[in-house]
């Protein structure tokens, strides 16, 4: 098999694809993209992902972006990332679940993490408060589903759990009251016990240290409350 490369940035949603690759036990290289220098918008990187975002996955000399597509693709080739099914409706619902993370949760995560990016420093708190309220509905839904079961799909770990974990972890450090959702908290703790997740986190931490040493680590400001 030709080399697999994951373009990522520490703390970013590329961690979801990184966990998926680690769970599959694939050999791959991570390449760090420096947001602080605008590397993600450079012509070189845009050849990989014209949208100028991470993750981007190079696999068999072809490039794929979007976590949902990367997970679906890797699952088609290697299995293990989603419960196996021949039922088109079950399969479509699995994609709907992943899209819930990428299209509903992720935009709220960004408004919670980086509210000033959307509305400037003066309006950041109002943006974040709105996102907190909107997130409550979805965290309650997730928390209810995780009550009494280990993973999103009961006993079977899936890449959906990795995606839910990244959303949780990202807002946890940004003043969002995750403790209101005990089953989701327990889910995150369970996930962090998995050796593959620990390896993905170690890659992320290594990338953070690298950028820190270059003075290029992006740290969004926490809002005073
Ligand atoms: N829908 C995309 C979202 C990708 C995305 O927004 N990535 C962020 C990092 S979490 C990024 O690259 N941001 C840089 C930018 O938007 O300038 C996916 O799921 O892969």
Q: Tens digit of pLDDT for each residue in 142-172?
A: 999 999 999 999 999 999 999 999 999 999 9
Residue 134 has pLDDT above 60, yes or no: yes
Exposure pattern of 67-84 as b/e (b: 16+ CB <10 Å)? bbbbbbbbbeeeebbbbe
CA nearest to 62, candidates 14, 12, 2: 2
Q: Does residue 12 line the site of ligand 1, with CB under 6 A?
A: yes
Q: Does residue 17 line the site of ligand 1, with CB under 6 A?
A: no
Compute, in angstroms, the gap from residue 87 CA to the centroid of ligand 1: 31
d(CA 134, CA 119): 17
Domains and CATH numbers, the chain: 5-80+196-213 (3.40.30.10), 88-194 (1.20.1050.10)
Each residue's pLDDT tens digit, 4-51:
999 999 999 999 999 999 999 999 999 999 999 999 999 999 999 999
Question: Atom 1 (ligand 1): residue with closest C-alpha?
Answer: 66
Each residue's pLDDT tens digit, 61-99:
999 999 999 999 999 999 999 999 999 999 999 999 999
Residue-level pLDDT at 2? 59
Of 119 and 92, the one with more pLDDT: 92
Compute, in angstroms, the gap from residue 13 CA to the centroid of ligand 1: 7
Query: If you search the block for the tokens 């409706």, which residue do you land on?
Result: 89
Residue 221 has pLDDT above 90, yes or no: no
Question: Atom 6 (ligand 1): residue with closest C-alpha?
Answer: 53
Residue-level pLDDT at 85? 97
Compute, in angstroms, the gap from residue 54 CA to the centroid of ligand 1: 5
């Amino acid at each position: 098999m030709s080399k697999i490369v994951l373009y990522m940035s520490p703390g970013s949603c590329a961690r979801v694809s990184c966990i998926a690759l680690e769970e599959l036990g694939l050999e791959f290289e991570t390449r760090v993209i420096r947001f602080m220098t605008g590397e993600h918008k450079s012509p070189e990187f845009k050849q990989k992902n014209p949208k100028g975002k991470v993750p981007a996955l190079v696999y068999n000399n072809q490039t794929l972006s979007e976590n949902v597509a990367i997970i679906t693709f890797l699952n088609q080739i290697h299995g293990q990332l989603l419960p196996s099914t021949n039922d088109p409706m079950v399969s479509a619902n699995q994609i709907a679940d992943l899209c819930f993370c990428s299209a509903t949760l992720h935009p709220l995560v960004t408004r919670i993490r980086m509210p000033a990016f959307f509305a400037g420093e003066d309006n950041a708190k109002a943006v974040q408060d709105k996102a907190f309220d909107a997130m409550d509905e979805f965290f309650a839904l997730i928390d209810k589903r995780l009550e009494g079961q280990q993973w999103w799909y009961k006993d079977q770990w899936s890449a959906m759990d990795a995606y839910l974990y990244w959303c949780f972890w990202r807002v946890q450090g940004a003043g969002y009251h995750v403790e209101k959702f005990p089953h989701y908290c327990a889910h995150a703790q369970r996930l962090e016990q998995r050796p593959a997740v620990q390896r993905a986190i170690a890659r992320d931490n290594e990338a953070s240290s690298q950028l820190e040493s270059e003075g290029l680590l992006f740290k969004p400001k926490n809002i005073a409350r």
